[in-house]
Structure 1
Amino acid sequence: MKKTKGILIIIGGDLSLPSEANGSEDMGNGTMHETEAEIITTFCRSLPGKTSRIEIIPTASEVPEKSSQRYVQAFENLGQTNVGVLDIRTREEAQAEDTVARTREAEGFLFTGGNQLRLTTLLGGTEFLSVLLDRFRQEPVVIAGTSAGAMCMSDTMIYEGSSHEALRKGEVKFSSGFGILDNVIIDTHFVKRGRIGRLFQAVAQNPASLGIGLGEDTGLLITKGDVQEAIGSGLIIVVDGANIRHTNMASISEGELISIENLNVHVMIPGDKYILSEHKFIPAQSE
């Protein structure tokens, strides 16, 4: 496990954001409810201060202006005064001097949802991503991604696959992700869209990787590239294939049913932790 100085927040989608009415942490009695917009608030608290530069990257979205504007507004409602949008739509723009300069200067980055293949095909192998990865390893920058923006953070990425046929070989399609997080495969909108089968196949095919299924408005706060804490309002499913004793993945043909023995599954609620390098679950109440 590679140790990093950066902080990563991966989010399952449908992120709760502060409205103008409560963004000043005022709900009539002077305080915001503790679960209101917890994830985006955690992102802001992980930054050095209110003037820290934040760049929103809506590359995954088909409507980047609309997608980015809601986050700009959310950050402003939380008092962040230095927010920009890195609207990268081509590989050429990802290599541009201005893009790279802004990537070197920002202290927080948020990738919106959309299509994860847009992110990897447009940004993979570019100077933008190279600088971002290097800074994440060596500096305490904060990177967050929601939905597609979360799925691309791993080294192996799911980009396609139906839920109801997910335990037939070949139904789930994989590609290379950004590699910000090692030995992990991420799926999002997990509980609502019934994607447990997708993650079972992903881990059976890549048993050295931990499967992480993120519920909506739910995320993992990951520090040192290893310590993962559940935050937000929902559930996280962790699928660990380290102890698999049998799977027929190598012997069956495309479309046939997958058999897996001794696949370990954990259910995390907010406050629970998982130490990736140790395959260790730490319940919130044990601390």
Structure 2
Amino acid sequence: MNAKGKLIIIGGAVDKGNFTDEATLAKGVPNNLNFFETGILRRIINESAHHEESRIEVITTASVIPREVGPQYVKAFEYLRATNVGLLHIEKREQTRDPEVLDRIKNADVVMFTGGDQLRLTSILGGTKLHDIILDKFRHEDFIYAGTSAGAAAASNNMIYQGSSHEALLKGEVKITSGLGLIQSVIIDTHFVQRGRIGRLFQAVVGNPRVLGIGLGEDTGLLITSDCKMEAIGSGLVILVDGRNVMDTNLTQVEMGRPISINNLVVHVMSMYDTYDLKSHTMEIHNSQYHIPLTAPAEADDDVPQMKSEDLE
């Protein structure tokens, strides 16, 4: 990823706290420690250029209920003491030329794209001056593109925009188009575990095995940095589908609507703090059962004579 900025992609249903006002918040703090300490929105703030003082713009373009969704994020960020947060309800392409809107994007440290319809998002923003500004800031500044659900799916160069879960491994059932192009050589699917979308990602990857499939569970995401390292964040699972070693498939031989066969597709499962290197295609499990702590006591070797107490006298 040839960029100075950071990418945070989330599978949807991000934890925004289960309180609605100050009184409920005071009572609910013990039940919301994950939200306050290790939640994804907390991580966005921590990774941003000015932390709680960072300018965050929440963009609701993908949503059909933007005036309901947007304020929820503003309130959640406020609970985390990030109060420099704005809302941009961009619903038409002509709004992307508004000088005030463009200035707000230029001055943002973080843009947060909400969920909804990723095709709506790319059809409104794609190829506009606003899109160009986001790409330029991402490549050259300490800037964060954060997206959940549709906002995550649209972040890559290739984007899944349609395909039912139960028919996903029938040829032609998964529809792919161009995304916003912040990251290459991956394709992202969201609500992954909860909606059983593994087949969608299998078909997307077998059609172009160079592309790494990323399946994001709900309230789960990846922090992707300029050194091409991906860290799992949030409470659930990230599924990676690596097709580089696929040995065989019937993809080009079967008719549309027929089942697809794939031989030797590799799958990885990540959870919080696990990392994956996009350059070396290696994964490191944070709490591996095979990792031997440096302070672990050496085990006695039965073949080596053991020192007895009388030897010390």
Partner of 1:94: 96
Q: Under a length normalisation based on structure 2, what TM-score does the superposition of the two structures give?
A: 0.86
Q: Deviations over 1:171-196 (max 9, x none)?
A: 00011001111111111111111100
Q: Could you say if the C-alpha distance between residues 26 and 283 of structure 1 is closer, same or farther in structure 2, counting changes exceeding 3 Å? A: farther
Partner of 1:40: 41
Partner of 1:250: 252
Asked if the contact 1:23/1:78 (under 8 Å) is kept, the reply is no
Q: Letter of the aligned partner of 2:6 in structure 1?
A: I
Asked if the contact 2:45/2:54 (under 8 Å) is kept, the reply is no
CA RMSD of aligned residues (A): 2.0
Larger Rg: 2
- Higher deviation after alignment, 215-224 or 243-252: 243-252
Structure 2: 5+ residue runs without aligned partners? Answer: 292-313
Give 3-state SS (helix, strand or coil) of 1:198's partner: helix
Partner of 1:14: 13
Structure 1: 5+ residue runs without aligned partners? Answer: none
User: Are 2:26 and 1:3 aligned?
Assistant: no
Q: Under a length normalisation based on structure 1, what TM-score does the superposition of the two structures give?
A: 0.94
User: Are 2:226 and 1:227 aligned?
Assistant: no
Asked if the contact 1:181/1:225 (under 8 Å) is kept, the reply is no
Asked if the contact 1:26/1:32 (under 8 Å) is kept, the reply is no
Q: Could you say if the C-alpha distance between residues 255 and 22 of structure 1 is closer, same or farther in structure 2, counting changes exceeding 3 Å? A: farther
Pairwise mapping of residues 1-287 of structure 1 onto structure 2 (< 5 A)?
A: 2-18=1-17, 19=19, 20-21=21-22, 33-34=33-34, 38-47=39-48, 48-224=50-226, 226-285=228-287
Q: Letter of the aligned partner of 1:157 in structure 2?
A: M
Asked if the contact 1:154/1:186 (under 8 Å) is kept, the reply is yes
Measured in 1, the distance between the counterparts of 2:22 and 2:63 equals: 27
Asked if the contact 1:10/1:146 (under 8 Å) is kept, the reply is yes
Q: Deviations over 1:125-161 (max 9, x none)?
A: 0000111011101111111111111100011100000
Q: Could you say if the C-alpha distance between residues 111 and 98 of structure 1 is closer, same or farther in structure 2, counting changes exceeding 3 Å? A: same
Q: Could you say if the C-alpha distance between residues 201 and 23 of structure 1 is closer, same or farther in structure 2, counting changes exceeding 3 Å? A: farther
Asked if the contact 1:171/1:255 (under 8 Å) is kept, the reply is yes
What is the aligned-residue identity percentage? 50
Aligned-pair CA distance for 1:3: 2.2
Aligned residue pairs total 285
Q: Deviations over 1:24-63 (max 9, x none)?
A: 899667x962465610000011121322111000000001
Q: Letter of the aligned partner of 1:205 in structure 2?
A: G
